[in-house]
Structures are given as structure tokens and as C-alpha cells.
Amino acid sequence: MSLMPMSLIGKKILIGISGGIAAYKTCELVRLFKKQQAEVRVIMTPSALNFVSPVTLSALSGNKVLINMFPDVNPSKTEKVESSTQHIYLGMWGDVFVIAPATANTIAKMVYGMADNLLTATVLSSRCPIIVSPAMDEDMYQNQITSQNITKLNESGFWIIEPETGELASGLFGTGRMPEPEVIFKYVEDFLKNYKRDLNGKKILITAGPTYEPIDDVRYIGNYSSGKMGFQLANAASQRGAEVTLISGPAAIATPRNVSRLNVKTSDEMFNAVKNNSTGKDYIIMSAAVSDYKSKEFHSGKMKKSGSGSFLIETSKTVDILEYLGKHKNGSKLIGFALETDNEIEYATEKLKQKNLDMIVVNNPKVEGAGFGTDTNVISIIDKNLNVASYEKMTKFQAANVILDKMQESALSGTER
């Protein structure tokens, strides 16, 4: 493998090692980072000590390996007393935090925000990106709970290095093997090369998910929106340094790291939450699939079936939140979404003009790889100068980054319609 000369000069890499056989590979990973002039600090969980020696890792990293959460009550005279708040400093110190190997146990603790050792406590207090390399036996990896936990970590904005398929420590063949140190090194190197903090200091309000408009105590008018696109926007914007407020309709998705989330149910609640949180925002992105109609009346309790066989609900229009924002612009750039099944560009352009937007993102749920519930999207973006950019199918996280790129370009381009 050819390495770029000194590609990591000045980078601070925090490495977390939990108790798995693959921990031996992390010794080599530390050496690769050091060879590229990165500063490396290693945290081990107590069970990792069963697999590799802190003496080895200390020699390779050039720093004392950190294991204990609390200071030694009887430190030797020569040893500096560790602070019981060192997890806070470690979390602020790293440019990136790489957890390799991450066992099923450590992953589960991270998902539930446990802080029972120095590694998990540092995960909770870190603001830097966290890259997780799960490594375990195939049965543990494919266990439904572990796989849900990994999905939740990913949704929360942790980066996951997929384990490889091959011979496992148990002697069995399967998926769960930690990739070779060179592979993880390359992943982290590329990650740091592409990592942008271009939204530092920017305040962004994002809405996501559907709204539920109640008919009675058990029924509602809603839609199939999963909220994935809006959550990925919040995730990407937060990774890029923005201060993100996410207003979400009912959505079963984990909140991205460092994002402040407000849950709402109805379009009226979303409207109020948006009004209360829109002041001082640099950008407002309305990706929520707000219901266009709500039931005129709310029936307390559960309505009984009528004998006639038909059931009519009288509806009224909901407030168009985006239109309201377009009419009360207060310095924020306004980005809307349009879901169109025909004449996408034409209809979306109309919406952009009519709602006084700075940009609109359009997708067609009938196109393969786009729409509700999928992890991918196929989008076109129309800016305020009516330039149209259309993109191939990509993940919703990639689409989110493209939207954030365009949003900034569009904010910089001076021409107003």
C-alpha cells in the first residue's frame, strides 16, 4: 500500500479499544497513524486488557494509555493524578475518535448512552466525529439486537466501518471480522481529508417527517413520510458544524448527535414550533411532509361505524408553513421540498416562485430509489435564479450534503429573482 507522505501531520486521533480479539490489529493501526505524524491517545475498556497490553499501546502511541474513569486513590509520587473529568477533555481533544474493535457490548452501551467506563463516557462527551469498527462473531453481529443497535448508531451520526467476511476468532467463517489496520487507516485518512466544517457558527432549522391530523382519539390523516431525508439533513449539517434544531413529526429515527430535536404531531404544532424557533436562523429547510388537510372536527373518543357503509370526513386546509415563512422572511434563507409525480421541474419552479423560496429540492416518489422510506433519493435542485441541477440516485446522507453545498452556493450568489 502506498501512503501519502505525512498525511496526518497535526491530526489528533483518539482511539478506543474494547474487549475483542481484533484488538491486536489496533496496535498496528496506532503505528500507522503515528508513522503519518498524527498525535494518538488510546483509551482501553477494562475488558480490552484481556487482549492486548497497555504497555505495547503506550509505547506505540507515545502516550500513557487511559483506562480508569477515576483517579487512583494512592497514586505513586511519579504518576500524574488522572482527573475524574478527563473524559470531557479527551472528548474535546480529538479531531476524530476511532473505536476499533467495537464489541457488541460497547456498541449497545453507546446506543443507550451508558457511561460506565472511560471509553463510553468519552463517547458521550465527544463532539468530534466518531468512527466505529464493529468486530465480533457472526452470530453476535447478525443478532437482531446488535444489528438494530448498529443502525441506530448510524442514524445518530456515528460512522460505521462495515466488518469483513472471513475467518473469525472462533475458527468459524462468516461476517464480523474487523478489517485490516491498513483498511481502517485509509478510511480515517479519507474521512479527515473530506471532512468539512463549513457550516461552523451557522444556525439551521430543519423540519422532518409527516404530520398526523387527528380525526378522533384513534385515527388520523397522515402520509408515508419516514423522516429519513430530514434527519439525514440534520445529521449532515451537524457534522459540518452547524447548530441544528430539528422539528420532527412522528418518526421512529434516532436523533443525530449534537442536534436539538423537538417532537410535534400535527401541522398546527409544527407551525407553532417553527414560528417559535425561526428567529435568527441562517437557513430554514422545510423537508417535512406536512399534511395539506386536517379534519374540521375532532371527535373525542373513538367514532363508531355508521350503518350507511360510507364515511365522510369534512376537512379544511392546514396552514402552509413554508408559504408563511416566505411571506415573513427575516434574514433566513428558505429551502423547500416538492414531491411531484409529473412535470417535476415545472411544478417545483412554480412552488419556488409562489412561496418566495431561495431553493427547492424536488423528487419523484415514482422514480426507482426515490421517495418515502428508502435510504436513497433521486433529486433535482432549483435555485433562486432558476438554475436546475439534477442528480443520479444516491444515499439520503449524500443527497443531504449535496443540498447543503447548493444551499451555501445559492446563498453566496448575489442575484435575486
Catalytic residues: 223
Q: Which is nearer to ligand CTP, 57 or 338 (CB)?
A: 338
Q: Which residues bind ligand CTP (CB under 6 A)?
A: 267, 286, 288, 290, 292, 318-322, 336-339, 351
Contact status, residue 214 vs residue 300, Cβ threshold 8 Å = no
Least Å from the CB of residue 252 to ligand CTP: 20
Residue 96 or 285 having the CB closest to ligand CTP: 285
Q: Would you state the cell numbers that stand for residue 365, as one nine-digit string? A: 416518489
Smallest distance from the beta carbon of 199 to ligand CTP, in angstroms? 20
Going by their DSSP bridges, the two strands 173-177 and 164-167 should be labelled as antiparallel
* Three-class HEC string of the chain: CCCCCCCCCCCEEEEEECCCCCHHHHHHHHHHHHHCCCEEEEEECHHHHHCCCHHHHHHHHCCCCECCCCCCCCCCCCCCCCCCCHHHHHHHHCCEEEEEEECHHHHHHHHCCCCCCHHHHHHHHCCCCEEEEECCCHHHHHCHHHHHHHHHHHHCCCEECCCEEEECCCCCEEEEECCCHHHHHHHHHHHHHHCCCCCCCCEEEEEECECCEECECCCEECCCCCCHHHHHHHHHHHHCCCEEEEEECCCCCCCCCCEEEEECCCHHHHHHHHHHHCCCCCEEEECCECCCEEECCCECCCCCCCCCCCCCCCEEECCCHHHHHHHCCCCCEEEEEEECCCCHHHHHHHHHHHCCCCEEEEECCCCCCCCCCCCEECEEEEECCCCEEECCCEEHHHHHHHHHHHHHHHHHCCCCC
Q: Cβ closer to ligand CTP: 189 or 213? A: 213
> Cβ atoms within 10 A of the Cβ of 138, count?
17
Minimum CB separation of residue 226 from ligand CTP in Å reads 15
CB nearer to ligand CTP: pick between 199 and 288: 288
Cell of 21: 480479539
Q: In whole angstroms, how close is the CB of 338 to ligand CTP at the nearest point?
A: 5
In the complex, the smallest distance separating the C-beta of residue 357 from ligand CTP, rounded to whole angstroms, is: 8
Q: Which is nearer to ligand CTP, 159 or 347 (CB)?
A: 347
Is residue 134 a contact partner of residue 107, using CB atoms and an 8 Å limit?
Answer: yes
- In the complex, the smallest distance separating the C-beta of residue 335 from ligand CTP, rounded to whole angstroms, is 8
What is the residue type of 268?
D
Query: Going by DSSP bridges, is the β-strand pair 376-377/359-363 parallel, antiparallel, or unpaired?
Result: unpaired
Task: Output 168 or 338, the one with its CB closest to ligand CTP.
Answer: 338
Taking the least distance from each CB to ligand CTP, the nearer of 41 and 351 is 351
Q: In terms of CB distance, is 203 or 275 closer to ligand CTP? A: 275
Shortest distance, position 38 Cβ to ligand CTP, whole Å: 43
Q: How far is the CB of 292 from ligand CTP (least distance, A)?
A: 5
Question: What are the cell numbers at 305?
Answer: 361505524
What is the rounded distance in angstroms from the CA atom of residue 241 to the CA atom of residue 384? 25
The three-point CA angle 211-395-413 to 5° equals: 85
